[in-house]
Amino acid sequence: MPLNSSVASISRDTNMIHRIRFGSSRSHYVFLALIIGIPVGGLAVTFLVHRVIGAILLLVGAFFSYQFAKYLQLHLKSFIETNDEGLRALTSSREKVKISWDEITHAGHCTDTENHEYVFVYDENNDTLLTVPDEFTLFRELVDELESRMELERYSLKPGETVTERLKQLLT
């Protein structure tokens, strides 16, 4: 078998996986500071101010720290996978999304007022929207792949406007 044909078959069957990078958003550091800071604050109150109040604050703080850590973990485990059939994703809310290339009815590339970028794909028949922020790894490669398969419409979002809101305006 010639080398070129085996390389071509490997590249055709390769899936590209995009994940959230820790530190790609300031909110990751805020969550990390809260996860550590809240229990430390409860410990400080326990030893410096009042043991009962400190113990209560420590328990409440531990609960909130656990919730923040769980959210951050779910957020960092989300992914987008592209392959020859379409896109498959696991969102931070644990929703599984699968859209084939031929089901995509709308696709776009948006920039907000802070120059954060997003791409979206929408399957109007199944009312499935997948929005991908630029904090995902290989974001530029995802944009390139989408552009190679379809025309992406370009949008500038207004202050506070979301991709979902813009898409609703376009479809009504």
DSSP state of 150: S
Q: Average pLDDT of 38-62?
A: 86
Lowest mean pLDDT among 23-27, 69-73, 148-152: 23-27
65 vs 3: CA distance, rounded Å: 53
21 vs 42: CA distance, rounded Å: 30
Q: Mean pLDDT across the chain, nearest whole number?
A: 85
Q: Is 121 helix (H, G, I), strand (E, B) or coil?
A: strand
Which residue, among 143, 22, 39, 29, has the nearest Cα to 82 in the 3D structure?
A: 143
**Paired tokens of 162:** 């979301």
Q: Is 18 helix (H, G, I), strand (E, B) or coil?
A: strand
Q: Average pLDDT of 15-36?
A: 87
Q: Is-above-0.75 flag for pTM?
A: no
> What contacts 24+ positions apart, CB below 8 Å, involve 120-124?
120/163, 120/167, 121/87, 121/146, 122/167, 123/99, 124/171
Q: Average pLDDT of 128-144?
A: 92
Q: Average pLDDT of 83-106?
A: 92
Instruction: Give me the pLDDT at residue 147, please.
Output: 92
